[in-house]
Amino acid sequence: MSKVEVKVQLETITPLWTGDAWMENYEIRPSSLIGSLRFWFEVICYFGGVCSAKDFDKEKGRFEKDIKNKDVKEKLLEHGTYFYGQIKALKELEVPLPAIIFGTTGWKSLIEIKEINKQNNQNSTNNYPFPINRVEFEELKYKKDKEDKEEIKPAWYFKKGFWGNFEVVFRVPEEIKETIFFPLLNFMDKYGYWGGGWNIGYGRLKVKEIKINKQLIERTNWQKNEFNFSKFGKNEISVNNIETVSFNNLISDNIDKITKTLSTKKVKKIQIEDCNSDIKEAIKELIKMKAKLRKKYKLNAQNDKVRRHEIFGYLKPTEGSKILPYINRLDNNSYECGFLSIAGILSLY
């Protein structure tokens, strides 16, 4: 299996947080970037019908199946060690497609990161446009009980992430470069989040350019809106015989009723018409709007506490929000803002 080096230039729309076990963000961690790609690829496969709930490992929280090295070797002897022989071997072992692409026990990820080069780190300058540390929201203050004199001021904590430009050198098999990797990069460019801190809008990046062997790849050649799984074989990667998945079938605009998407296997995009061009103020406004949505949901007697935590997140890292503040840069001076709802993944649990 030969791999090609793909150099991807990325620029932060919102800060990138890839903190370590000590919650420090001294470097951009490759494992965090690959983990983000895997998560969104799993969303695509699930919402696109390529994977079903039976492929999902609830304990690990991803589409996974552990396999033994001896079982892989036996299948490779049967089908050969060339690329599609390997794929056929893994499919016969019932490994879900996301685990084939991004690895599992006994199988290495097809997509790797060779190196990361920071090119324009603006963290130490005055250009850092986001809040830092604890930020109180005066507009959201409330009383626990009507009789209370003291009001509570909700606060969010903003750790300083990476802000600037950087290059990621990926190593990707030629066989999936055009059909899976480029569409995935395009999806991430438009809708996906990298690293951590999605609850406060972190991790939105823009793909500036892509090069292979020093040759610039035209945007029309990598901005592909369709994933093509046909070469992975019918009825072997999907219960629904899916060969292609288009962005049009994954994304749905829905201006209101954001929390009523739990059973809908689509990424719901809620756009706000008036988007502040000041990125710091824009994200603060989105956080306030989200807090009001959570409060409104809480007041509905039909909605239980557990479900509210599942949708909007809770204190535990494993209970992250499924309603994400969304900012996308249209050009140097304008943005589109709103929310992305991925609440449909809750049906897996």
pLDDT in tens, 80-99: 888 888 888 898 898 999 99
175-179, 215-219, 269-273, 280-284: range with lowest mean pLDDT: 269-273
**Least-confidence region, from 63-72, 140-149, 158-167, 314-323:** 314-323
Specify the higher pLDDT residue, 68 or 170: 170
% of the chain with per-residue pLDDT over 70: 85
Rounded-to-integer distance, Cα 194 and Cα 205, Å: 7
| pLDDT beyond 80 at 319 | no
Q: How much is the pLDDT for 305? A: 74
In this structure, are residues 209 and 218 in contact, taking their beta carbons and an 8 Å threshold? no
Give tens-digit pLDDT for 34-76. Answer: 999 999 999 999 999 899 899 999 888 899 988 888 888 888 8
Average pLDDT taken over every residue of the chain: 84
- Higher-pLDDT residue of 123 and 49 is 49
Q: What is the per-residue pLDDT for 233?
A: 62
Region for 31 from its dihedrals, namely left if φ exceeds 0, alpha if ψ lies in -120 to 50, beta otherwise: alpha
